[in-house]
């Protein structure tokens, strides 16, 4: 998986259940262009909490590249809407918001149907974590764990399309065909547009863009952006 890492061990679910988990392996951005992995003790599981073992944790190439390069805005809150991303941008920093895992232990007051449940959490990259079930999203049965890691990215793409508000017969131009851009293009391909054109510097992305529904995908210097509704999946601006 190009945009995620698997933290899951090779042991079966039954074997994992027999082994108490007291520590997590966590990824930290420790300084500019420096990343390290630490083992740290997990907090005690409370009666209303569950323990999740991460199977996939998707990487956000744009944001995490900025953190890795030290280009984040100092003093800005990491994400006030996500409980597991508290505080401000500063090293050392745990980051990530698309962890898919399996519930492997329950607090005594948690409903039994959470046991073994596949869930999505807006949580940093680490092998295990304690969570309140209210912060977890059960993954539908027809979506596998790897695909579920892209659900937050698809949410971003849906928001872009809703904000862009395409109309029938309009020409649409999408800048950037990374993961968000390709998902945005795939959604727009279902609209009755006159033309759907995308721009990206990389040939592989342009080819994939045409495969998901763009009529044409061009190198940016080709310049077909006039009189189009523009969605930028590089800056998030419309």
If asked whether residues 23 and 87 sit together in one domain, one would say: yes
pLDDT at residue 2, as a whole number: 36
**In the prediction, which pLDDT does 47 show?**
97
- Given 90, 123, 149, the domain boundary residue is 149
pTM: 0.79
Domain membership of residue 103 (yes or no) is yes
Q: Which long-range contacts (CB under 8 A, 24 or more apart) does 147-150 make?
A: 148/56, 148/100, 148/118, 148/120, 149/1, 149/4, 149/56, 149/57, 149/58, 149/98, 149/99, 149/100, 149/120, 150/3, 150/58, 150/98, 150/179, 150/183
> Strand pairing of 99-106 and 118-121?
antiparallel
Per-residue pLDDT of the chain (238 residues; tens, 9 = 90+): 334 444 444 344 444 545 678 999 999 999 999 999 999 999 999 999 999 999 999 998 888 999 999 998 888 889 888 888 888 999 999 999 999 999 999 999 999 999 999 999 999 999 999 999 999 999 999 999 999 999 999 999 999 999 999 999 999 999 999 999 999 999 999 999 999 999 999 999 999 999 999 999 999 876 554 545 566 665 444 3
Cβ atoms 5, 57 nearer than 8 A: yes
Same domain, 159 and 56: no
Q: Compute the distance between CA of residue 220 and CA of residue 198 in angstroms, rounded to an integer.
A: 9
Q: What pLDDT score was predicted for residue 83?
A: 83
Within 13 Å and on the Cβ side, how many CA atoms surround 125?
21
Cα atoms in the 13 Å half-sphere on the side-chain side of 191: 22
Read off the CATH number of the domain in which 188 is found.
3.40.50.720
142 and 157 share one domain: no
DSSP 190: T
Q: Which domain holds residue 108?
A: 4-149
Same domain for 39 and 144, yes or no, is yes
Cα 57 from chain centre: 8
221 and 105 assigned to the same domain: no
Alpha helices in 19-82 (DSSP H): 61-69
Domain count, the chain: 2
As beta bridge partners, residue 199 has 175, 218
């Amino acid at each position: 998986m190009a945009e995620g890492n698997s933290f899951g061990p090779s042991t079966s679910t039954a074997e994992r259940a027999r082994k108490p988990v007291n520590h997590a392996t966590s990824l930290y951005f420790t300084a500019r262009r420096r990343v390290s992995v630490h083992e740290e003790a997990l907090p005690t599981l409370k009666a209303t909490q569950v323990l999740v073992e991460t199977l996939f944790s998707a990487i956000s190439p744009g944001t995490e590249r900025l953190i890795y390069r030290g280009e984040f805005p100092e003093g800005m809150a990491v994400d006030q809407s996500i409980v597991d991303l508290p505080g401000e941008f500063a090293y050392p920093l745990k980051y990530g918001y698309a962890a898919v895992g399996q519930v492997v232990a329950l607090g005594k007051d948690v409903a039994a149907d959470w046991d073994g449940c596949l869930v999505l959490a807006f949580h940093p990259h680490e092998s295990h974590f304690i969570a309140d079930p209210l912060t977890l999203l059960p993954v539908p049965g027809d979506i596998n764990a790897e695909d579920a890691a892209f659900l937050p990215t698809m949410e971003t793409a849906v928001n872009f399309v809703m904000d862009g508000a395409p109309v029938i017969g309009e020409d649409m131009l999408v800048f950037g065909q990374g993961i968000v851009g390709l998902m945005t293009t795939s959604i727009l391909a279902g609209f009755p547009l006159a033309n759907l054109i995308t721009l990206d510097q990389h040939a592989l992305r342009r080819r994939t863009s045409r495969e998901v529904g763009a009529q044409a995908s061009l190198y940016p210097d080709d310049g077909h952006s006039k009189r189009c509704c523009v969605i930028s999946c590089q800056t998030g601006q419309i």
